[in-house]
């Protein structure tokens, strides 16, 4: 939260209950959405959409050219949500070599390579 600051943090409220929040880390012509959190009971009810629209509007007002978000690859629900809201360009890919023996789920194929989530 220290990177975001209170002037770039918005909350979604239902009645007197905070149900979500979004932050914008701004650096010149680039910015990152971090965090975006919506209470599980309020997902798919419009809170996340309103938060994203708010932060996108603020980024435009600040003259941001590239706005990014970094959902965890296994969070397919979040990836679909952001895709639906216009985040359709890949910028970074983070790969892991798991030395723990953890069981990973089958994931997408990119550039002819099969990945796990």
The whole-number pLDDT of residue 4 equals 64
Strand-pair category, 66-69 with 30-38: parallel
Kindly report, residue by residue over 12-40, the tens digit of the pLDDT: 999 999 999 999 999 999 999 999 999 99
Residue range 46-54: mean pLDDT, rounded: 97
The per-residue pLDDT for range 2-12, each reduced to its tens digit, is 666 678 999 99
Q: What is the mean pLDDT of the chain?
A: 94
Domain ranges of the chain: 6-91
Is the Cβ–Cβ distance between 79 and 87 less than 8 Å? no
Asked whether the beta carbons of 38 and 48 are under 8 A apart, the reply is: yes
pTM to 2 decimal places: 0.88
Q: What's the rounded Cα separation, in Å, for the pair 102 and 98?
A: 7
- From the CB of residue 27, how many other CB atoms can be counted at a distance below 10 Å? 9
Asked if 70 contacts 32 with a C-beta cutoff of 8 angstroms, the reply is: yes
CATH superfamily of 6-91: Gcn5-related N-acetyltransferase (GNAT) (3.40.630.30)
């Amino acid at each position: 939260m220290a990177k975001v600051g209170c002037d770039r943090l918005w909350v979604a409220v239902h009645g007197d209950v905070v149900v979500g929040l979004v932050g914008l880390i701004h650096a010149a012509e680039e910015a990152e959405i971090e965090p975006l959190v919506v209470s599980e009971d309020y997902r798919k009810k419009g809170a996340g959409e309103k938060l994203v629209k708010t932060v996108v509007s603020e980024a435009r007002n600040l003259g941001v050219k590239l706005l990014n978000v970094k959902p965890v690859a296994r969070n397919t629900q979040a990836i679909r949500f952001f895709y639906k809201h216009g985040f359709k360009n890949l910028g970074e890919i983070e790969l892991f070599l798991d030395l723990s023996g953890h069981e990973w789920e089958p994931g997408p194929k990119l550039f002819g390579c099969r990945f796990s989530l």
